[in-house]
Amino acid sequence: MTQNGLQELFDLSIPPCEEVVEWASKQEDQSWEGLLMACRYHGWRGFVARNSRSVTILEQLAKDKDEWVRRGLAYNPSTPAVILSRLAQDEDGWVQVAVASNPSTPAAVLEVLAKNKNGWVRGAVVRNPNVPTAVLEGLTGDEDVWVRRGVASNPNTPDTAVH
């Protein structure tokens, strides 16, 4: 870990919750895991997950048991592709929607999510600015109107794909 974990959060302009400040004042070694898990309030960890650019912090938050935290991480454009790939398989459908919405999600992950049984996930895929054209073409006849509307509204959809 670089320097003091609490100081790095301040450097990111993320104010820590009270439990983190209290925990940090009692610790010699402020590991990221301890620092992030010291706060029981998932909203603060979710805020950190959605806004941090530190790979160290993001890797720790990828292990969080709270789906709100994983959702925040999945929406963060700074989340590394390897973490987004893991989150695409999350048991929580809204985490998968967040991964599908993230402009940093690799095309190969979007291709997998395009086959998801959840229409909200497929709908988020077709609204992603980096979705492959082949995926858009493949979902033009989707059973879900939300998906079809997303295909029609995506500027990358070829004219020949929209009826």
Which residues, at least 6 apart from 69, have a Cβ–Cβ distance to it below 8 Å? 42, 45, 46, 49, 61
pTM flag (> 0.75): yes
In a domain, 3, yes or no: yes
pLDDT tens for 30-41 read: 555 556 655 665
DSSP letter for each residue of 1-42: --S-HHHHHHHTT-PPPHHHHHHHHT-SS--HHHHHHH---H
- Identify whether 132 is part of a domain: no
**Is 118 a member of any domain?**
no
Residue written as tokens 């590394």?
A: 80
Residue 85 lies in a domain: no
Q: Within a domain: residue 9?
A: yes
Smallest CA-to-CA distance from 86 within 97, 77, 99, 75 is with 99
Q: What is the mean pLDDT of the chain?
A: 84
Per-residue pLDDT of the chain (163 residues; tens, 9 = 90+): 344 555 655 565 555 566 555 655 565 555 555 566 556 656 777 888 888 888 888 998 899 899 999 999 999 999 999 999 999 999 999 999 999 999 999 999 999 999 999 999 999 999 999 999 999 999 999 999 999 999 999 999 988 766 5
Write the DSSP assignment of 126-162 as a string of letters.
Answer: HHSTT--HHHHHHTTT-S-HHHHHHHHH-TTS-GGG-
Nearest Cα to Cα of residue 74 among 46, 43, 35, 54: 46
What is the total count of domains within the chain?
1
- Cβ atoms of 100 and 124 within 8 Å: the answer is yes
Distance CA 109, CA 132 (A): 11
Closest-CA residue to 49 (of 71, 31, 18): 71
Range(s) of the domain holding residue 61? 1-80
